[in-house]
Amino acid sequence: MPLADSTFEAKPDMAKLSPRLNDILNSLPLAAGMRVLEVGCGPGVLARAMASRIGEGHVFGIDRSARAI
């Protein structure tokens, strides 16, 4: 099973977040410094958005599809 670390430097383009993913992002109780595991991250759009919200924390995304990551 492929694994991908979603730690990144640049902020994601929030305009690329679908309304569904934006609703999910806004419903999560994210806080600075958190450690988050996203199972089924696909290309990592939501993982990158979560990472921008938690700052110095870590987001780790996994997906069973190597093509998705």
Q: What is the mean pLDDT of each run of 10 residues along the chain (69 residues)?
A: 43 72 96 96 94 95 87
At 45, which amino acid appears? V
> What's the pTM?
0.73
CA distance 20 to 8: 23
Contact predicate 8/54, CB 8 Å? no
Q: With the C-alpha atoms ordered 66, 63, 6, 48, is the resulting torsion angle positive or negative? A: positive
CA angle (50, 52, 58) in 5-degree steps: 65
Contact predicate 69/14, CB 8 Å? no
